[in-house]
Structure 1
Amino acid sequence: MDTSFASAALRPPVLDDERAWQRVINGWTPPVTLDQEGDNLPKPETDWTADEVQNSNYNSKALNAIFTSVDMNMFSLITNCTSAKSAWNTLQRHCEGSESVRRTRLRMLTSKFDEDGRI
């Protein structure tokens, strides 16, 4: 029995592509074009430059890695995200909380440590 496929399916996804990771850090938005009135319209994919296609592919790679790394509860939070950055930020806010929540948690841990000498 060939177990190479089964073992590959059990490995977590790895985002080891620096350019894909940059889509998580810097974000990605679909290319736009200006109409005659000067308004932004989505650029047809057939008109995308090679660089725009490449950036879209890096975003898709990063987004796929995020999607396949989370459980169904987390996935439901990010299922409508179209950029890796927005999915990442949503998960970060959900898991870590806002800056004020993190500061409050830190103060609580500091107080507990000061009281008990342990956490």
Structure 2
Amino acid sequence: MQAHLAAQDDDMWYVITDGQMKILKMNTAAITTEGAPQMVEKHRSEWTDEDKKKENLDNVAKYIIYKTLDKNMFAKIKTCTTTKEIWEKLTQLCEGNDHTKENKLTVAIQKFDNTKMKPGETLAEFNERFSSIIIELISLRKDYSNREIALKVMRALPREWDVKP
């Protein structure tokens, strides 16, 4: 049963990333030069229950995506006809192109570099603000070592936090 669900998940992801599944069968009448049978599309009258489920995966995937979007985001993708189109549009809207990603990364690195604890800010408030910057950097595929992060935190603290000799 678990293997069946894993295969169905793989099929669902295929529909999202590669497009509608084609229901195929072997064409035993034609043999390729390598001796392997040629694949041709099955006629609807030949579909099994499993074939029907696979063919419907695009609709299932669209429904799942629709249910997760707010009205504003739905309005931006409602003209897309396949799950693949929806996924590509959402990726573009949420991540942007390579230039946009690079700009976001540059801004996030500047935030990291310029982070200082504000006057009157508690350590908990600073930690929350600093953690959100780290999460943003990780989402943009920029990782800092624990040592780099610890050093940054130490440098970000105000002078009154310095160790007294």
Do they fold alike, i.e. is TM over 0.5? yes
Q: Return the alpha-carbon distance in structure 2 between the equivalents of residues 55 and 98 of structure 1.
A: 32
Q: Is the 8 A contact 2:77 2:89 kept in 1?
A: yes
- Give the aligned partner of residue 94 of structure 2: 95
How big is the shift at 1:103?
1.0
1:23 corresponding residue in structure 2? 15
Aligned partner of residue 63 in structure 1, secondary structure: helix
**Aligned alpha-carbon RMSD (Å):** 2.6
Distance 1:95 1:84, change over 3 A: same
Structure 2-normalised TM-score? 0.46
In 2: Cα distance, 1:52 partner to 1:82 partner: 21
> What residue number does 1:36 align with?
none
Determine if contact 1:23/1:59 at 8 Å carries over to the other structure: yes
Question: For the structure 1 residues 111 and 100, does the alpha-carbon distance in structure 2 shift closer, same or farther, using more than 3 Å as the test?
Answer: same
The amino acid across from 1:116 in the alignment is T
| CA distances 1:66-106 after superposition (whole Å, capped 9, x unpaired) | 01110111111111222111111111211221121011100
Identity across the alignment (%): 27
Q: Which runs of 5+ in 2 are unaligned?
A: 1-7, 24-42, 117-129, 134-165
Which consecutive unaligned segments of at least 5 residues does structure 1 have? 1-15, 32-46
Distance 1:81-1:56 versus aligned 2 partners, 3 A rule: farther
Q: Compute the displacement of 1:29 (Å).
A: 7.2
Q: Secondary structure at the match of 2:68?
A: coil
Bigger RCO (CA 8 Å, 6+ sep): 1
Structure 1 residues 103, 21: CA separation in 2 closer, same or farther (over 3 Å shift)?
same
Letter of the 2:78 counterpart = T
